[in-house]
Structure 1
């Protein structure tokens, strides 16, 4: 079947609120040398979609500057880092055996070749993403998951949230039998951290609140701390011997309160700042106990390969909170920003609005 010349997409032409998400009909992108064209089945939402749209990332030396993930955004930009779909066409130099295969796209743009390269850009930010019926991607970043038992929605939920989680776990050197603390445990990255850490054989202590606590426990947490109470005291009670690795997407005051709870040689891994980017802590708790604070932005190519192995075996099963049609992308982002859900929110670019209402999972 031939690829159409025009597709539906949602893009932003400036920074701002949900109102800057504009449905449009645009040309289907042509895969360039070394690229493939993916027909998008599902695209998952992430906090980075909100912050990129808002320009909330700041810049070195100016943390309040309006900026995208790694600097100015080249508008108009089609958002959406997380894509699952089928290869519809290949560009020059790409073998045709990928045609028709079900794939997940690694959304990272790396600073070098090789398995340990660092992400310095992101699909949906530094290049067009998956809020569209089609998207192009480098063939080297497309992973064949045709035989995975996971649904397209679950596959789309993996790249950013689970890739970020796996990157944190790898950089934090979490080992079987260690105790891991997971903050923001009901969010997309948080649930991923709980599931992957549990699969690694760690004892998982999670931080959540209210009605989400049961869902976090179901995801695999051995114990859940209620963030509405005295978090540090609850952690001490649940892990009297201390924490080996903190997997933190909240930061803020939690870092200063939590560092004294690390065991000797403990690692505090940060991949988000939901609680605030201004952090104060007693540095003596760092050097006197040989502790480490580690920044972790997404994953490396090697980490993503490990994630795709998990996907093919269905060793983790992402929780899908709701699904929206493409033309309700603004509504989907508003739902994400309210943080009343557990798991991932996805878009169905090829679904009609009247058919694909939000659904729990």
Structure 2
């Protein structure tokens, strides 16, 4: 089959499009999926460049094209273990089940499915023993892939494969963050990086919960983010103290971190909640612990998502309660160009890849 393999941590040149990859065989409890579409996420970039290594202390963009020279490959993944190369990346996958392994009902053949990007390493694994699709196992950057049958969720929708492929990673990440922060209609929610895949998903999903949404993004993307449902849009580089009153938001959904981070806690009200699932502007921040405890703030990291988060996402899609945000489509063979465009951050939503 044709597909893209990551040959090592580093620059775009580590991504190789090949035509001689073996079609994977579904093991017991697995399904074989003909991939209809995948998409690009920050996690695909971060995994390629080894950004998850604690040896890296700068933002994603500083090494996104050429990679980093100081990566410790032994802990440069979600799981904290070394990545196995070559690896087929691609956290997103929409496709059709065309074969099943032992123990899987053959009636599932022909189902259109979305793969849950992050799932337990086995059916009875502890909560935090997880696998990320396209990291700890091969993902969607190929014509065919396998997944545990329990993690291939049937989807009934008139949306195209490309549109559906824009949902799994970004929207489940965003919904997981909102779930962890217990966002509801009483909240004023501030979302950083609101024009990206997870950020634009968070805008829609927070509005679905009835929250008042304040979005931070590039000024040129204001109209598009407002169209997603944002009640207010703040330019990315604007000082928050000038744009917002002190203690005026109840929840911060942060995907950026970096130098602006202390301002996020300043605008949180007493008893406010902060939840993070990204740090593209830089993972090392300065915390005044007095702000944390004197304001009774709660800080959450959000990676793992309960199974119900993805099940809910399927329900939202089928009910038409959230809309796909596909900014552009690329052939999988053009993966290097597609990731280069992704890194320019000039779009709102997702870039989709079709094999």
Pair 151,314 (structure 1): closer, same or farther in 2 beyond 3 Å? farther
Match of 1:261 among 253, 267, 288: 267
- 8 Å CA contact retained: 2:219, 2:234: no
Shift of residue 314 of structure 1?
2.0
Tell me the equivalent position of 1:217. 226
Tell me the equivalent position of 1:121. 131
The answer to whether 1:31 aligns with 2:40 is no
Alignment partner of 1:82: what SS?
Answer: coil
In structure 1, how many angstroms separate the alpha carbons of the residues matched to 2:266 and 2:161?
Answer: 42
Pair 117,148 (structure 1): closer, same or farther in 2 beyond 3 Å? farther
Q: Any residues of structure 2 matched to 1:326-341 within 5 Å, and which?
A: 326-341=332-347
- 8 Å CA contact retained: 2:247, 2:266: no
Shift of residue 62 of structure 1?
7.5
In structure 2, how many angstroms separate the alpha carbons of the residues matched to 1:94 and 1:214?
Answer: 47
Q: Deviations over 1:175-200 (max 9, x none)?
A: 11310000000000000000000011
Alignment partner of 2:269: what SS?
Answer: strand
Tell me the equivalent position of 1:281. 287
- 8 Å CA contact retained: 2:247, 2:270: no
Shift of residue 262 of structure 1?
1.1
Tell me the equivalent position of 1:204. 213
Shift of residue 129 of structure 1?
0.7
In structure 2, how many angstroms separate the alpha carbons of the residues matched to 1:264 and 1:26?
Answer: 55
Tell me the equivalent position of 1:3. none
Shift of residue 32 of structure 1?
0.4
Shift of residue 112 of structure 1?
6.5
Tell me the equivalent position of 1:11. 5
Tell me the equivalent position of 2:318. 312
Shift of residue 155 of structure 1?
1.3
Tell me the equivalent position of 2:61. none
In structure 2, how many angstroms separate the alpha carbons of the residues matched to 1:43 and 1:168?
Answer: 22
Pair 141,252 (structure 1): closer, same or farther in 2 beyond 3 Å? same
Tell me the equivalent position of 1:140. 150
Q: Deviations over 1:201-254 (max 9, x none)?
A: 000000012211111111110000112322332022xxx661111000011233
Tell me the equivalent position of 2:62. none
- 8 Å CA contact retained: 2:2, 2:21: yes
- 8 Å CA contact retained: 1:11, 1:76: yes
Tell me the equivalent position of 1:41. 36
Shift of residue 119 of structure 1?
6.3
Alignment partner of 2:93: what SS?
Answer: strand
Shift of residue 281 of structure 1?
2.0
In structure 2, how many angstroms separate the alpha carbons of the residues matched to 1:266 and 1:230?
Answer: 20
Pair 297,136 (structure 1): closer, same or farther in 2 beyond 3 Å? same
Shift of residue 116 of structure 1?
9.0
Question: Could you state the TM-score of these two structures normalised by the residue count of structure 1?
Answer: 0.89
- 8 Å CA contact retained: 1:191, 1:343: yes
Match of 1:21 among 15, 34, 38: 15
Pair 312,184 (structure 1): closer, same or farther in 2 beyond 3 Å? same
Between Structure 1 and Structure 2, how many residues are aligned? 338
- 8 Å CA contact retained: 1:165, 1:298: no
Shift of residue 298 of structure 1?
5.0
Tell me the equivalent position of 2:348. 342
Match of 1:68 among 74, 77, 96: 77
In structure 1, how many angstroms separate the alpha carbons of the residues matched to 2:9 and 2:90?
Answer: 15
Shift of residue 50 of structure 1?
0.9
Tell me the equivalent position of 2:94. 84
In structure 1, how many angstroms separate the alpha carbons of the residues matched to 2:124 and 2:228?
Answer: 33
In structure 1, how many angstroms separate the alpha carbons of the residues matched to 2:328 and 2:169?
Answer: 17
Instruction: Could you tell me which runs of 5 or more consecutive residues in structure 2 were left unpaired when the two chains were aligned.
Output: 58-69
Q: Deviations over 1:25-71 (max 9, x none)?
A: 21100000000001000101101111111111114x87663323323
- 8 Å CA contact retained: 1:41, 1:86: yes
- 8 Å CA contact retained: 1:184, 1:248: yes
In structure 2, how many angstroms separate the alpha carbons of the residues matched to 1:204 and 1:151?
Answer: 28
- 8 Å CA contact retained: 1:112, 1:118: no
